[in-house]
Amino acid sequence: MLKVSCNGSDRVQFMAQCGFAGQPASVLVRRRSVSAVGFGYPMNRVLSVRAIVSDRDGAVVNRVGAEAGTLADRLRLGSLTEDGLSYKEKFIVRSYEVGINKTATVETIANLLQEVGCNHAQSVGYSTDGFATTPTMRKLGLIWVTARMHIEVYKYPAWSDVVEIETWCQGEGRVGIRRDFILKDYATDQVIGRATSKWLMMNQETRRLQKVSDDVREEVLIYCPREPRLAIPEEDSNCLKKIPKLEDPGQYSRLRLMPRRADLDMNQHVNNVTYIGWVLESMPQEIIDSHELHSITLDYRRECQRDDIVDSLTSIEGDGVLLEVNGTNGSSVAWEHGHAYQQFLHLLKLSTDEGLEINRGRTAWRKKASRL
């Protein structure tokens, strides 16, 4: 993998290369001051308007992009692809983002997915308040909420590795949208992970789900691929497989987990990535020591507030027995492309008499590669 030194001049050179290498040919049309508050831009902000040109025949494609003028916009290592229908960004894995295996944690991966999704939304003019809302949604007080997240990691990047993530959206029936991701090792162009997520629309005041109206759908679909594009071929994955509810008590548990202030997002709710950490808290230590996480699927069912107390429950899926996966075909082991994975079911619930369900999940774990 590509390694980046800590030398300041090297970093500047790398950022310059990443910021401009592979960018679409563009024509600077004019500079103008705009007052586009409805699209999340500050008043009187100077934008460079670019007509994106196809390298194939020199024709201007069907949208005009605005190159934002803030320092963050200029230094961010990301941009829309040539056709404007997906977004790519490069990230350097920091020392504080790796865990006990000396590689990026799954929480790091999830945080990067969240970051690239937000940056994609901002790049096409959606709101900058963390909700990625369209003009019609803001007018009606509607926001997006996560319904399901599925992440697969084939190879975890290490400290100083550079990861490139591509993301795009598309319609998902009448009630939501789907956002997909592909993660690559930037040095080798090898796919090291994939993810898909489903988002529903909620009224911010009533907290009730609402169908996606035609007006909102039109505002979203203009930035989506014309034909369905799936990061994970659904016939080869259990990303859509139903997750049964885990009965209490689980085989393994961590009780009375409490949100820290650092777990709250900009909207004063527990961040989606925090749930991943809570799920993993109740994993058996022998699996943590001998396996690494291959995939995680989470169904989000209830918001968690800062004063809530949470119980994390885990059980082995299938016959409930930990197995040596080499050479076995036990019911608690899933097979995919000739590889065996130990699977677990998870439940996050409020630590109250009612035990209201917050989140249910499934994880699949593969044996760690033996070290020479």
Positions annotated as catalytic residues are 267, 269, 304
- 352 touches 364 (CB < 8 A): no
Cα 99 from chain centroid (whole Å): 19
Determine the Cα–Cα distance for residues 135 and 129; give it in Å rounded to an integer: 13
Contact 210, 204 (CB under 8 A): no
HSE on the CB side for 300, CA within 13 Å? 20
Query: What DSSP element (H or E) covers 313?
Result: strand 310-316
Distance CA 52, CA 81 (A): 10
54, amino acid identity: S
Can you name the residues that pair with 369 across neighbouring β-strands? none
- 10 Å CB burial of residue 208 (0-12, 13-18, 19+) is exposed
How far CA 143 is from CA of 121, 132, 161, 196, in Å, comes to: 13, 8, 34, 19
Which whole-number Å values give the CA distances from 124 to 89, 141, 146, in the listed order?
14, 20, 20
List the structure tokens of 214. Answer: 């035609």
Q: How far apart are CA 174 and CA 19, in angstroms?
A: 37
DSSP 163-208: EEEEEEEEEETTTEEEEEEEEEETTTTEEEEEEEEEEEEEETTT--
What is the distance, to the nearest Å, from the Cα of residue 102 to the centroid of all Cα atoms in its chain? 21
Count of residues making up the chain: 372
Could you give the angle at the alpha carbon of 108 between the alpha carbons of 220 and 243, nearest 5°?
70
